[in-house]
Structure 1
């Protein structure tokens, strides 16, 4: 009986906490956001892991990401995603195809240029604990969307306690998928032109453009 009461009490605390906006978490998130806003452009190695315990899915992809303001280029083994702030190209080399779509900065999609500011609108946030992630002491924070029909029901962030850089973040969807992104070899001194974030179809002979706009 005591265990049952304790479990109910613990659940009550969790639900109550997520009904609020944790001031400690906000201080950490603001410091993290300020750090990345001060960087004109950066490049990093990134690993993406997709897991689903029920479906027994465990897939990992490694790639490189370059970010400049609201622009980014993500290069993975099987595809490239390029966003120049208004247009998004998804290039699939094996299929010799590139999908072209408009970029909506107000959408609920989570992309590398949003993760540093995503907490500022439409999310509740909670500091959980200090925890070592990838050998680095981090501050663990959960973000929960205010909208019940949001694409992801939780985003877990590990923020380097020392320098406020993002060590990793994991997005949880309602079908049981967990998408984890881990940052390594971070380079904040990249000089890159805006043209780097455009996909010139004419330079890819045989590639079929699929315009979804």
Structure 2
């Protein structure tokens, strides 16, 4: 089964449940900590959300994606795949092959794949520093760079740009150790959307002939 690497640290930004300890906070400089904590506080007040984003691999064309979350549940669509997570079971549907992959959801192992933790991902497992502040159009963007403390991480660093005025996430760029780079631009964010729980459960009846691969 073909499976892409979906890295959403922060909109994941893992925007999207980790409580930061004093030792964790000490891993960032004061400027970076203030920016990330303000951003995190803004999104933690949201009980559910829907976000539209554009992701662009370096040297590739821009592609669209969207994510909806509610508590620990999420539904993510990008790169020809759609991931359903009801908090217990995760189903990855591949449109090209009409195939779905079922696996138990382990919140401790979901890592970058968990969009419900985008805004708090930085609080555990990263060192972070303030990079710069730039005016882009009518916005002033603050850039913070995160570096994983886990040497086995496939990510070498992440750069997040936050709107200085309202502390909303503008974009983030992921640098992988294999040299690949992907930029995610947040196009639209709808907080506290009304969404039923069954929206996060894959319904095979809606996909005639779908091949089921059960990895549980």
TM-score normalised by length of structure 2: 0.81
Q: How big is the alpha-carbon RMSD for the aligned residues of Structure 1 and Structure 2?
A: 1.9
Q: Give 1 or 2: higher helix fraction.
A: 1
Larger Rg: 1
Corresponding residue for 2:51? 44
1:83-133 residue CA offsets vs partner (Å, 9 max, x unmatched): 222222111122010111222222263132222111111110111111245
Tell me the CA shift for residue 199 of structure 1: 0.5
Q: Is 1:205 aligned to residue 212 of structure 2?
A: no
Match of 2:67 in 1: 65
TM-score (structure 1 length as normaliser): 0.82
Relative CO higher for 1 or 2, CA cutoff 8 Å, sep ≥ 6? Answer: 2
1:47 deviates by 0.8
User: Hey, what does 2:42 align to over in structure 1?
Assistant: 35
- CA-CA distance at 1:140 after TM superposition: 0.3
Residues 108 and 93 (structure 1 numbering): CA distance in 2 closer, same or farther, change over 3 Å?
A: closer
Aligned residues: 190
CA distance in structure 2 between the aligned counterparts of 1:146 and 1:96, rounded to whole angstroms: 38
Structure 1 segment 134-149 matched on structure 2, within 5 A: 136-149=139-152
Alpha-carbon distance, 1:59 to partner: 3.5
1:152 to 129, 152, 155: 155
- Comparing 76-85 with 152-161, which one deviates more in the overlay? 76-85
Distance 2:168 2:195 in 1: 21
Contact kept, 8 Å, 2:128 with 2:144, in 1: the verdict is yes
5+ residue gaps, structure 2? 1-25
Match among 171, 174, 178 for residue 181 of structure 2? 178
